């Protein structure tokens, strides 16, 4: 097998994400589907918020604030990812 074939076989989005975010290879690649990952990883924070805010209105406000903050993070990092991808593509094209 050509070494380029090996590189292409090892390259995947999750490995690239781990490297770009943390500077290391993701040794424990999470193979769960994205929807399942989000659902399972969000359970603890929802449980904690429900314990802290037993009042429905206060819980709704806390969830709204958390959602706004997470949306800002998601939008910002998506933008950075698009910019990084465009720069990488430009470098690859010459």
Q: Are 40 and 85 part of one and the same domain?
A: yes
Write down the residue that tokens 């037993």 correspond to.
54
Q: Is 75 helix (H, G, I), strand (E, B) or coil?
A: helix
Write down the residue that tokens 């781990």 correspond to.
18
Q: What is the residue-level pLDDT of the chain in tens, covering all 94 positions?
A: 566 777 666 667 777 777 777 777 666 677 888 899 999 999 999 999 999 999 999 999 999 999 999 999 999 988 988 898 899 889 888 8
Contacts (Cβ under 8 Å, ≥6 apart) of 63: 49
Q: Are 43 and 88 part of one and the same domain?
A: yes
Q: Are 80 and 49 part of one and the same domain?
A: yes
* Both tokens assigned to 92: 């690859």
Q: Are 88 and 63 part of one and the same domain?
A: yes
pLDDT of residue 92: 85
Total domains in the fold of the chain: 2
pLDDT of residue 20: 73
Q: Are 37 and 66 part of one and the same domain?
A: yes
Distance of CA 12 to the CA centre of its chain: 14
* Both tokens assigned to 56: 């429905």
* Residue-range definition of the domain harbouring residue 17: 1-31
């Amino acid at each position: 097998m050509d070494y380029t074939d090996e590189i292409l076989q090892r390259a995947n989005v999750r490995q690239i994400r781990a490297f770009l975010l943390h500077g290391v290879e993701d040794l424990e690649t999470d193979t769960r589907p994205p929807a399942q990952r989000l659902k399972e990883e969000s359970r603890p924070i929802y449980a904690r918020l429900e314990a802290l805010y037993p009042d429905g209105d206060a819980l709704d406000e806390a969830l709204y604030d958390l959602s706004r903050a997470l949306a800002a993070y998601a939008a910002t990092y998506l933008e950075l990812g698009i910019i990084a991808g465009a720069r990488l593509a430009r470098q690859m094209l010459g």
